[in-house]
Structure 1
Amino acid sequence: MIWPEIKAKGKPDFTPLEIHLQQVALVAEKVAAGIGTDIKLARYGAILHDIGKAHPEFQRRLEEKSRIGDLPFRHEITSCLFISLFDETIQPALIDMVIAHHKSIRRDAREKGILDLTEEYEPEEVFRFHASDWETWNPKALDILSKLGIKVKPLSKKEAEENFFYVYGYCRKRFKEKGYSIDRGLLEAADHFASALIDKTEFYTQRLFQKPDLNFYNRKHPLYPLSQKSVESNKPHTIVVACTGAGKTDFLFRRCKGRIFYTLPFQASINAMFQRVSGDLKKDNPNLDIRLLHSASSLAIKGKTVEEIIIQGHIGSAIKILTPHQIAGIVFGTSGYEATLVDIKGCDVILDEIHTYTDITRAIVLKIVHVLKNLGCCIHIGTATMPTALYNQILELLGKENVLEVKLSDNELNQFDRHIINKINSWESTLPVISQAIEEDKKVLLVCNRVQSAQLVFDQIKEKYPNIPSMLLHSRFKRGARGKMERLLIGKDENGKVTRQFNTSEKACVVVSTQVIEVSLDISFDLMVTECAPLDAMIQRFGRVNRKRDEHTIGKLKPVYVIQPPENTKEAKPYDLEILQESYKQLPDDEVLHERNIQKKINEVFPTVDMPEIEEHAIFKKSGEWTINGLTHRPKSFLLDRLDIDGVVCIVEADEQRYLAGNFEERIQMEIPIRYWSVRQFNQLQEGNRPFIVPDSAYSEEAGLDLDKLKIAKSDINYRIL
């Protein structure tokens, strides 16, 4: 190694610049091969992108020493001073890769793009600052470039100045152009990957861009009608409408030909799907790169190495399981959107349970579909309860001629009648029903619409049935605890062995939950009591009762009790009161819910599907035009804040010191997902994921975080921001 004292990264790794450039080049070549672009160009861009870090000013700032002057230093600019070392025909692509791999060239959030700086300062001043001490560090930079295979020559300061103004002029023209840059996205993806994995980079690049062997999903069974249907079609896209337990997941996977992005709406469903797919494909794909991407990814991959946890969000996996939130940047052009675009372009994208989203999220998902179609993706949509109005919107968007449409016949649907619906007035009126079920050793599932309601119901269950196994599941638990609860609920250990607890128990038990139970958790209980929700959501909930299908369960019915809607809009939250009232009206009472009638009932509740207008915020328009300026990205869109996600995390006071001393995985497991507005008044750490610190009194291992206790604690001066 030459010039090992010249670093690319600061503490704790202090990676030498030569090593970092080599690692990024390794990933860039793999990415280029994977997406079918110029491998040699990718390597050149990777080697060039950070060579400007050889500048003494960058090294000074890396060591946290005093800086010279007030003008911001950007290593991307100093890297571009070497652009003339490369053939003129590839210089534009190299500039795309290098000059904006961290910052927008203009209107950067911190106003540090090259065009921001040249507007605030004279271009000559910007050049002089970035080329200062040229004779000192330029030869070292050339040595590193030469060591990495770049043909170099002596480079005068005059030539460096010419290079600067060439790049400056190019950026002024590039900003006026519209659209994304594959070259920029490739470099960003490679840089992020290598920066995260460091010395493990070479090992983990070996599995990138592999196509999974999906032969497992060709299994057939007479009880699963979709397994009997052919997936052969020249049409690139798919819409499957089928009830829970009909084999939608297998069918959607059978339609895929390449790498797969699998999206689901809820965190709990994503964890479960990751475990399921990993188990399904392990035999035929022993080294397959399957990743889980959301705020609590490490839970479902607990036990793997830190590097395996870190890699989850990066490019090139064979299968990536995630929420729409992780790819919404391609709609709004937020930071890193081009790296996501490079990763997903041309892939198979499964959008499962698309009907379960709120109106704003649904609008964003449909816009994602619009973008994915433009990127050449094959889009496969699965649903149990999609309103016809929404179905027709999607069909129009994809083009009916491009979509394989699959539905079950009435005769097939009749085989899935499994619930008797009972309407009741209140939780209190269900107590005799619950008591009888417990006496008969039934598994009971109680579902609330809000965390606070679930906590109250759980307290009542614990008091009335202290000797019966019970658990509470919602989104306000520590992530480590949440992962254990999900495994406990499913009733299988990490190796898939039955534990005979809850879902696999043969004795009475009670689970109290919120909406997290609705999607993709493979559980089958004997009785449900649920608060009224929109009809499509309730159908999903019902699917957690009498779910198991075999020769002994076909034709047998189990009870579901639905509590009537509240009388005012406040108590109806998070749902619309009118939707709840119409949904309740559509349910039978003390009768079988026939699967063949569900679509008609759904359409009665949702005759139209309102979509918030997000077109003005999107970077890809209905006309098919990209409107974002070249080599730029946008600050976080306010629309993303309206997605159904918890945007920040908190930890309890007792965990603060452990969090500060912990590693990546240990910190993640202490975190509690929460909305910013619930904790904004509390002190916030600056380490890790910057958690807010909440009092111990607001959290318990059984009930999770109690927002009512949190509100009381806000008045305590010890916890508030001073």
Structure 2
Amino acid sequence: MLYAKSNPVETLREHTDELLKQMNVLRESYGTNINSLNFLEEEIFWQLLDFVIEFHDIGKAFSPFQELIISRMDTKINEPKIVTHLENNVGHNYLSPAFIDYSYIDKKKNKELRAVLNQVIVYHHERDIFIDKDFKNLIQKILDEDLINKVYELQHEFKVRYPIKTEKLSKVYLQSVEKRIDKNHKYYNLYIMLKGILHRLDHSASAHEVVECNNVMNIGEHTENYLMKEFGSLRETQSFAQSNRNKNIILIASTGMGKTETALIWIDKDKAFFTLPLRVSINALFDRAKNIVGVGESNDTFLGLLHSTAIDYLEESNQENSSEIVDLAKLLSCKLTFSTIDQIFKFPFLYRGYEKVYSTLAYSKVVIDEIQAYSPEIAAVLVKGIEMIHKIGGKFMIMTATMPTIYIDELKKRGVVDSNLANLTCNTEKIRHCVSIVENSIDENLEQIIQSGINKKVLVIVNTVKSAIEKYELIEEIIKSKGIDINVNLLHSMYIQEDRAKLEKYIKEFADSDSNGIWITTQLVEASLDIDFDELHTENSTLDSLFQRFGRCYRSREYEENSPNIFIYTEKATGIGSIYDKDIVEKGLELLKNCMNGKKCFKMKEKHKVQMVKILYSKESLKDTDFEKKFTRALDILDTITPYSLGSNEAQNILRNIEGYTVIPEDIYRKIEKTLIRDYEELGQELTEAYSNDDRQLINEIKSKRKKARREIIKKTVNLPIYKAKQNIVDIQVKGLEDLKILLYKYDIHEDVHTKHIFGKGVIIGKEIDQFI
């Protein structure tokens, strides 16, 4: 018998049949969408997919591989011992095409098509192997001395469903896989679909999960029913989406215009991915969608959550099937997946295995929300991704409150803006903000801010963590010296994960309560938190950033007073030139002043914001700025990138813009060193012992416990940019935690004895711990 898997034991025929079963699931679910891709001939595509499935693992007949599989089985089987002098030093994927008899599938001897099929099979596992003369000779040796003797087993035990070569096996097929297929190849799109879908089917079959779940769910229909029940009618944006479901959409609409529901209506009955910049936003959207679509009435795995801490969020939210939701999301099996872009938009980097995501997006819809919130480099990745999705036949929807003109111009240049694109700009006429430009620093106005905080909810947003801590300390000092009883809180990115989650929960609860007070924050709250305050005091920044901040004040309420509820401070604003492009900040301020036309309090309409951003981010305005240079340079890199030069994790790290360390503040490390850290270390020792005893069941149990223990440790970490860490970090000498560091800066956090709420300054950069033990 020929085997494919050891635990659980699975024969080669069983595994292959599971892929064929999942292929039928895919065809029944989204076959119409796949068939509509204009470069595919329906029956030929499915026949070719069936063909590569049948042959993809046939190289596992290699004797050393069979010997290895049998040796790893927990369940002992009655099989004669395999005797071989060969080593298991070649992946089965490099061997499988040797058996293919192309006279059956390709009577026209189409070399380009044969190259596609060979590469789909050879590279269904991406390995860093150079196919040189020595490798080819090794393959021929294996074919001559081992695999030629497997023909009988393949025909009578595996029962291969296509004719195979039975006499001479040749390495000649390797010539067609040396030069990887790229976008210039005649059958590039066919290759993407075959290889990508083979990855999907193989991963689903191996995980014993369905490749597509809840395919009959019509999300658009459920959303419409919800809106009609709650409000009695659809808004303009929602009716627009309803009428343009088969088109790509660019929607520019104000906060509070129902953009989320608009996107769900556009998605309709199709498979979709919904992206946002920040995890906390994605989590909130996931919960909101559950309420809108009516999860709980039936199996709810049609909604997936995909980001680096998704399992933690779901478990803390007491989601019953949290593991299943995350597992299916990772397999791209959910009807609608909410995701950060680092999980989905890696494919423009053409990393090894990118076809898996790209082929899925070919028959799906993608929603990109808040595109203006990304850096120019990340925006370039999104623009390139949208271009690629458009070329292969997928559909996209861009939703934003303000759309930089440079992005629209680039999409036009790349042929994305065509007759199948529908545009809508829809801004509320409701006036929510009365803006005042203050020609001094926030520090000079702290007493007014404190007075406002006695009777209102006041939000202070500054551009750096250091500035936020300084403002917090100054306000605390003033209220203490004057005996003022007021609620003052601080939130920024330099808290450990679990503390930051608590503080984000507190600020949302505060915004929804009847309490008054002051919250001092950074740009962290711009796109991540759905909060509504009465008054905003902000350091100057770029216009798009400022308008995002405006959205945290009078979020959907109409503002009828003639006094300002938005204060922009232009002096001593931090982060200009480092976090924010100085030229763009200055040009934005000039536009703002021109719009206000000398008025001390300007009642700003949404159309004013859209127009200013349109002008600011035009090619003319951005010429020679760092923003334009970064955006253009990133696109140039993506346009000329060498396919398969990166791994999946490398591409993901670029998207996450990871240039720093994941650290545990030393104060926190001391507290968990003899609990969480020691437990994790002991589990590692138990795992080593389980491996030495080859106890597969115990190995899996310990791995699961260790993964959970690591998640608990990760909650104690904070991501710190390299330039902030300098030399004040120490390695953690525990196997499995080498990627984490100990930070020798003070961590300030306390708990209120009455409310049990935490408060404090978080990581205090520059304040070192005196001694490290």
Determine if the TM-score, normalized by the shorter chain, exceeds 0.5.
yes
1:278 to 262, 284, 290: 290
- Take 2:476 and 2:53, find their aligned partners in 1: how far apart are those partners? 59
Question: Residue 338 of structure 1 aligns to which amino acid in structure 2?
Answer: E
Q: Is the Cα contact below 8 Å between 2:660 and 2:720 reproduced in 1?
A: yes
Aligned residue number for residue 77 of structure 2: none
Aligned residue number for residue 513 of structure 2: 505
Question: Residue 549 of structure 2 aligns to which amino acid in structure 1?
Answer: R
Change (3 A) 1:449 1:296: farther
- Take 1:703 and 1:485, find their aligned partners in 2: how far apart are those partners? 10
Aligned residue number for residue 594 of structure 1: 604
Aligned residue number for residue 494 of structure 1: none
How far has the Cα of 1:99 moved from its partner? 0.7
How far has the Cα of 1:340 moved from its partner? 0.7
1:19-418 → structure 2 map (5 Å cutoff): 20-33=15-28, 34=30, 35-36=34-35, 41-42=48-49, 45-46=52-53, 48-58=55-65, 72-84=89-101, 87-89=104-106, 94-103=117-126, 110=128, 112=129, 116-119=130-133, 121=134, 123-129=136-142, 133-134=146-147, 145-146=158-159, 150-151=160-161, 158-159=167-168, 161-162=169-170, 164-165=171-172, 167-172=173-178, 175=181, 178=185, 179=188, 181=191, 182-195=193-206, 198-199=207-208, 201-202=209-210, 205-207=212-214, 211-217=218-224, 218-219=227-228, 226=237, 231-233=242-244, 236-257=247-268, 258-282=270-294, 286-288=298-300, 289-302=302-315, 303=319, 304-395=321-412, 397-399=415-417, 401-408=419-426, 413-418=428-433
- Take 1:480 and 1:153, find their aligned partners in 2: how far apart are those partners? 59
Aligned residue number for residue 564 of structure 1: 570
Q: Is the Cα contact below 8 Å between 2:677 and 2:713 reproduced in 1?
A: no
- Take 1:485 and 1:336, find their aligned partners in 2: how far apart are those partners? 39
Aligned residue number for residue 586 of structure 2: 581
Q: Is the Cα contact below 8 Å between 1:480 and 1:669 reproduced in 2?
A: no
How far has the Cα of 1:208 moved from its partner? 5.2
Q: Is the Cα contact below 8 Å between 2:550 and 2:566 reproduced in 1?
A: yes
Q: Is the Cα contact below 8 Å between 1:299 and 1:483 reproduced in 2?
A: no
Q: After superposition, what is the alpha-carbon deviation per residue over 1:417-451, rounded to whole angstroms, capped at 9, x for unaligned?
A: 334435263332332233223321x3232223233
**Bigger shift: 136-145 or 395-404?**
136-145
Q: Is the Cα contact below 8 Å between 1:328 and 1:368 reproduced in 2?
A: yes
Aligned residue number for residue 731 of structure 2: 683
1:446 and 2:460 aligned: yes
Structure 2 gaps of 5+ residues are 36-41, 74-83, 107-112, 623-627, 684-704, 750-758
Aligned residue number for residue 765 of structure 2: 708
**Bigger shift: 301-310 or 652-661?**
652-661
- 2:568 partner SS: strand
Q: Is the Cα contact below 8 Å between 2:488 and 2:517 reproduced in 1?
A: yes
How far has the Cα of 1:8 moved from its partner? 3.0
Change (3 A) 1:543 1:615: closer
Identity %: 19
1:694 and 2:742 aligned: yes
How far has the Cα of 1:328 moved from its partner? 3.2
- 1:31 partner SS: helix
1:547 to 555, 577, 583: 555
- Take 1:388 and 1:94, find their aligned partners in 2: how far apart are those partners? 42
- 1:311 partner SS: helix
- 1:573 partner SS: coil
- Take 1:382 and 1:278, find their aligned partners in 2: how far apart are those partners? 20
1:524 and 2:528 aligned: no
Q: Is the Cα contact below 8 Å between 2:220 and 2:264 reproduced in 1?
A: no
Question: Residue 59 of structure 2 aligns to which amino acid in structure 1?
Answer: G
Change (3 A) 1:612 1:638: farther
Q: Is the Cα contact below 8 Å between 2:55 and 2:121 reproduced in 1?
A: yes
Change (3 A) 1:328 1:579: same
1:667 to 695, 710, 735: 710
Q: Is the Cα contact below 8 Å between 1:227 and 1:247 reproduced in 2?
A: yes
- 1:613 partner SS: helix
**Bigger shift: 239-248 or 299-308?**
299-308
Q: Is the Cα contact below 8 Å between 2:273 and 2:366 reproduced in 1?
A: yes
- 1:515 partner SS: coil
Q: Is the Cα contact below 8 Å between 1:524 and 1:545 reproduced in 2?
A: yes
How far has the Cα of 1:524 moved from its partner? 0.9
Aligned residue number for residue 546 of structure 2: 538
- Take 2:150 and 2:660, find their aligned partners in 1: how far apart are those partners? 42
Change (3 A) 1:73 1:229: closer
- Take 1:393 and 1:376, find their aligned partners in 2: how far apart are those partners? 19
- Take 2:733 and 2:652, find their aligned partners in 1: how far apart are those partners? 23
Aligned residue number for residue 450 of structure 2: 435
- Take 1:138 and 1:648, find their aligned partners in 2: how far apart are those partners? 54
How far has the Cα of 1:538 moved from its partner? 0.8
1:8 to 1, 5, 9: 5
- 2:555 partner SS: coil
How far has the Cα of 1:186 moved from its partner? 0.8
Q: After superposition, what is the alpha-carbon deviation per residue over 1:631-659, rounded to whole angstroms, capped at 9, x for unaligned?
A: x5645698875545447763534343455
Q: After superposition, what is the alpha-carbon deviation per residue over 1:260-312, rounded to whole angstroms, capped at 9, x for unaligned?
A: 22222233322222222222112597435122222222244333332322332
**Bigger shift: 466-475 or 425-434?**
466-475
Aligned residue number for residue 495 of structure 1: none
- 2:402 partner SS: coil
Alignment coverage as a number of residue pairs:
663
Structure 1 gaps of 5+ residues are 491-500, 622-626
How far has the Cα of 1:28 moved from its partner? 3.8
Change (3 A) 1:337 1:74: same
Aligned residue number for residue 617 of structure 1: 637
How far has the Cα of 1:96 moved from its partner? 3.7
Change (3 A) 1:23 1:555: farther
Question: Residue 297 of structure 1 aligns to which amino acid in structure 2?
Answer: A
Aligned residue number for residue 496 of structure 1: none
- Take 1:323 and 1:347, find their aligned partners in 2: how far apart are those partners? 17
Question: Residue 52 of structure 1 aligns to which amino acid in structure 2?
Answer: G
Q: After superposition, what is the alpha-carbon deviation per residue over 1:522-544, rounded to whole angstroms, capped at 9, x for unaligned?
A: 22112222222101111011111
Change (3 A) 1:532 1:666: farther
Q: Is the Cα contact below 8 Å between 1:29 and 1:43 reproduced in 2?
A: no
Q: After superposition, what is the alpha-carbon deviation per residue over 1:363-392, rounded to whole angstroms, capped at 9, x for unaligned?
A: 222222211211222322222222445444
Q: Is the Cα contact below 8 Å between 1:518 and 1:544 reproduced in 2?
A: yes
Decide which structure has the larger Cα Rg and report it.
Answer: 2
How far has the Cα of 1:345 moved from its partner? 0.7
Change (3 A) 1:144 1:244: farther
How far has the Cα of 1:331 moved from its partner? 1.8
Question: Residue 287 of structure 2 aligns to which amino acid in structure 1?
Answer: Q
How far has the Cα of 1:338 moved from its partner? 0.6
Change (3 A) 1:378 1:448: same
